[in-house]
Structure 1
Amino acid sequence: MTCPSCGTPAEGDSNFCEECGAALGASPPPDGAPRVLVTEAAADEPSPIDDLGSGPISRATSQTYAPAPPAAGIPACASCGGEVGPDGYCEQCGVKALSPRDHFREQPAPWVAGVCDKGIRHSRNEDAMALSASPDGSGAARRAVLVVLDGVSNTDDSQVGSLAGARAALGALVVPLPVGMGTPEGRLAAATRAMSAAVDAANAQVESAAPADAANPASATFCAAVLEGDTLTYANVGDSRIYWLPDGGEGVQLSVDDSAAQDQIEAGVPRLEAETSAQAHAITKWLGRDSQGHEPRVGQMSITEPGWVLVCSDGLWNYASEPAALAQQVAAAATTDPAALALALTDFANASGGQDNITVALARVSPAPAP
C-alpha cells in the first residue's frame, strides 16, 4: 500500500503514513489541499512546559507554505525559493527547510480560517486543526465546525495522533447536530451525545497513532465549536479553549479547562497565580490510550451580535488568558478577515515569547440580515 497523500510506500503495521501522517486507505486530498509532512523531534528537545500538556512554540509566520512537491521533484526553500539539498538545508541561503506540517493554514470559507504553527522552541508541530464551513457566513443557514487538538509533546507520535484525531472529529461533526425534543435541555443532551461521539472518533485515532508497545502512547487535548445559525455548541477535553469575543464587549471563555490550574482556581486561587504556577499546564483529562476517561465538557449559547468564535491551543492563551486580553489583541489587529486575524494572533504569541505550538481557529459571526 502507498500513502494516498504523498505516495510513500507504507511499512509496518501503522495505520498512518510515516512520512506525512495521513491515514492510510483514505482518499487522496483534493488538488490544492495542504500536504502534511511530519518532522521528527530532536533527541535533546526540551521537555514540555506542562507535565501532560502540549509543551514548548512558534516562529514568525509571514510565509505561506505550498503543498508538498512530488516525490521526484526538488523542494523549494520557503525563505528564499532556492533548492533544498538532500540534508534538508537550502543550498542557497543555508536555512533548514520547513515542512507544511510546521506551519499550515486553512480557510474553508471567507468567514472561517485558522493557522497552525510549530513555534519558536519546538522541533515539530504537535498541534492540529480541522475546519469546515458553509459558503455563507450570515443568517440561519450558516454552519461552521472548528476542531483543535494539541498533542502532548512527551508522548510517542502525538503529531500523528492529533492530526488524525482532528480530521476524525471533523468527519463526525459535518452533519447537523441533533435537536432532541426541541427544548433547551433536550437540545443540549442531544448535542452532548454528538460531541461525545466526535471525541470518541478523535480518541480512537489518537490511540492508534503509536505502536501497541509504545512506552508513552500518543495523547492530546481536544476542543471543538459548532456554529449553526445563531446556536454555538462547544466541547473540550484538556486545556485547549473556546472563546466568544463580541465586537461590543470583552467576551467570555466558554470552555472550562481540565487542568491543575483550573482545580486551583476552583479552590479559590487567583487566576493569574494559578496559571503561572509550576503545574499550570498539567492537564487532568486527555485523549489517548493511557487516559482515565475522555468525557467532554459540553455547552451551548445563542449568539445575537457580531463577533468572533475563537478555538485555540494554549500556545495562544499562554499570553492572553483573560477574554479581555484577547479582545485587546483582536481590536489591535483591526480586521474582520479571519485569515488575517488568525495570523496576527499567531504572530502575537510568537512575539510574546512562544512557549508552545500555536493553533488559532476563527469564525467571523456577522449580524443577521435585516428581514
Structure 2
Amino acid sequence: MTDATCPSCGAVVAVGAKFCESCGKPLGGNPPAAPVAPTAVDDLSPISAPTHRKVADSDVVAGPRPCLSCGGAVGPDGYCETCGAKAPTERDHFRETPASWVAGVCDRGIVHHRNEDAMALLASEGRAVLVVLDGVSNSIDSDVASLAGAKAARDVLATPFPQGMGTPASRTGAITKVLAEAATAANDAVVAATDPASTNPASATFAVAVLEGSLLAYANIGDSRVYWLPDGGPAVQLTVDDSAAQQQIEAGVPRAVAETSKDAHAITKWLGRDAPDVTPRTGQVELTGPGWLVACSDGLWNYASEPDALAAQVAAAGTAVPLDLALALVAFANAQGGRDNITAAVARVEQNASEPATAGGA
C-alpha cells in the first residue's frame, strides 16, 4: 500500500494516519476550528542566526498547555488532542500565573523563528515581581541567556525590600541597591549562558517592576518598559528607554517620528558580555488608586507606545482577569502585524485611594 500526501502541506504521510506529522493538520474528517489570533512579536532587529544550544522545555515553568488554534488540550506528543494542530514548544509560548492577580504571556510570534523574550514572575499577598528580558535577535544564544537572566533577577527580588535606616531617603537607597543587584545577577546569568568563544555574544534588555503594598519600584536597561495604568488615568510610562529613539526624543524630535525612524530600536545599553554599563535606571512611586501594572517588551509597546494608547488596549480587552488581559495584549500586537517576540506581564492592583500615581525615576 502506497503512502498518501497531506492535502494541507503536501508532505508524505502514512496511509491510515490521523494527523500530518509535518503540519499537524487532520487527515480527513472534520476540519479543525478556526484559529484564534496567534500571539505577537517583539524585537524589530534582524532575525539572528540559529543558536548552537537549545533551551529545554523543562527550563520554562508552565502549566498544562492549551492549543493556540482551538483551545483544546495539547497531548504529550505535542499535538492538540482536539484539532490536531502542532503546538509550539514551551519555550516558544509559555504563561505564568503565580497568583490570581498576576500573570504573564511570553510568545515567539509570527516572524521570528524562535522566542528570545523571557519573563519570570513571583507573587504573594500584596507583593509581586515582574521581570522581562528581551534577547537581542542579532546576537547568538539570546534565547538561552534571556531566560537565565530573568530567573536570576527574579531570585534576587524574591525577598521583600530592606527598610534601610528608617528614613525615606535611606529606604529609597536600599531599594535602588537591590534593583542594581538584580540587574547584575541578570547580567552574570546572560554572560554565563554565552559561549566564551562567541564573537557575537548574547545580549538582552531588562525591565523589572516590584510591587510591595502601595510601593512600586522599577528598573530598566534597554527598551523593555514598565507602565502604570490607573483606572481613570492618566496612564504613565515609568521607565525611560536606553535607545536611539529616546535620544531623538530628548533632542526634541516628536515621539511618533523618533519611534518610527530607521534606528529607533537601536539600544544604547544592554545586558551581556560586551555591555558598556549594567547600571539600571531606577525609580519608585506610591500607587494611590487601583489600576494595571504592565511590564512588556517592545513587541507590545511598538504598537501602543503612548501610555494612553496602551491603556486603551487594556480597556478594549474588557477583562479583569490578568491572564486574559496578557493574552489579549499579545493578540492585539500580532493583529497589528507583529514582527517580533512579545512579552506582556501584568498585575491587577486594587486600592481605594483616588489620586493617580506620577513617575519618579533616576
TM value normalised by structure 2? 0.78
Output the amino acid matched with 1:332.
Answer: A
Task: Tell me, in whole angstroms, the C-alpha distance in 1 between the residues paired with 2:209 and 2:195.
Answer: 30
Give the aligned partner of residue 117 of structure 2: 127
Do 1:21 and 1:160's aligned partners in 2 also have CA atoms closer than 8 Å? no
Do 1:35 and 1:100's aligned partners in 2 also have CA atoms closer than 8 Å? no
Instruction: State the shift of 1:179 in Å.
Output: 2.4
Is residue 108 of structure 2 the alignment partner of residue 118 of structure 1? yes
Classify 1:176/1:62 alpha carbon distance in 2 versus 1 (closer, same or farther; 3 Å). farther
Give the aligned partner of residue 367 of structure 1: 351
* Structural mapping, 1:177-326, within 5 Å: 177-326=161-310
Task: Tell me, in whole angstroms, the C-alpha distance in 2 between the residues paired with 1:131 and 1:65.
Answer: 24
Name the SS of the counterpart of 2:208 in structure 1.
strand
Name the SS of the counterpart of 2:119 in structure 1.
strand
Give the aligned partner of residue 89 of structure 1: none
Output the amino acid matched with 1:108.
Answer: P
Two-structure CA RMSD over aligned residues (Å): 2.4
Residue identity over aligned pairs, in percent, reads: 60
Instruction: State the shift of 1:61 in Å.
Output: 7.6
Give the aligned partner of residue 20 of structure 1: 56
Q: Deviations over 1:58-88 (max 9, x none)?
A: xx7875886x94xxxxx13148554xxxxxx
Instruction: State the shift of 1:184 in Å.
Output: 2.8
Name the SS of the counterpart of 2:320 in structure 1.
coil
Name the SS of the counterpart of 2:328 in structure 1.
helix
Instruction: State the shift of 1:349 in Å.
Output: 0.2
Do 1:232 and 1:301's aligned partners in 2 also have CA atoms closer than 8 Å? yes
Task: Tell me, in whole angstroms, the C-alpha distance in 2 between the residues paired with 1:113 and 1:152.
Answer: 24
Output the amino acid matched with 1:110.
Answer: S
Give the aligned partner of residue 337 of structure 1: 321
Do 1:222 and 1:240's aligned partners in 2 also have CA atoms closer than 8 Å? yes
Output the amino acid matched with 1:121.
Answer: V
Q: Deviations over 1:317-370 (max 9, x none)?
A: 00000000011111111111111110101000000010211100001001259x
Give the aligned partner of residue 62 of structure 2: 34
Do 1:130 and 1:167's aligned partners in 2 also have CA atoms closer than 8 Å? yes
Output the amino acid matched with 1:109.
Answer: A
Give the aligned partner of residue 356 of structure 1: 340
Name the SS of the counterpart of 2:295 in structure 1.
strand
Q: Deviations over 1:12-38 (max 9, x none)?
A: xxxx97451767xxxxx8xxx4289xx
Classify 1:61/1:217 alpha carbon distance in 2 versus 1 (closer, same or farther; 3 Å). farther
Output the amino acid matched with 1:77.
Answer: Y
Instruction: State the shift of 1:115 in Å.
Output: 0.5
Task: Tell me, in whole angstroms, the C-alpha distance in 1 between the residues paired with 2:58 and 2:152.
Answer: 12
Do 2:152 and 2:189's aligned partners in 1 also have CA atoms closer than 8 Å? yes
Name the SS of the counterpart of 2:283 in structure 1.
strand
- Poorly superposed stretches of 4+, deviation over 2 Å: 16-19, 33-36, 60-66, 78-82, 181-185
Output the amino acid matched with 2:88.
Answer: L
Give the aligned partner of residue 360 of structure 2: none
Output the amino acid matched with 1:181.
Answer: M
Max Rg structure = 2
Of the three residues 66, 88, 94, the one matched with 1:98 is 88
Do 1:152 and 1:158's aligned partners in 2 also have CA atoms closer than 8 Å? yes
Give the aligned partner of residue 48 of structure 2: none
Give the aligned partner of residue 41 of structure 2: none
Output the amino acid matched with 2:56.
Answer: C
Q: Deviations over 1:229-264 (max 9, x none)?
A: 000000000000000000111310000000000011
Give the aligned partner of residue 166 of structure 1: 150
Name the SS of the counterpart of 1:131 in structure 2.
strand
Instruction: State the shift of 1:183 in Å.
Output: 2.8
Name the SS of the counterpart of 1:122 in structure 2.
coil
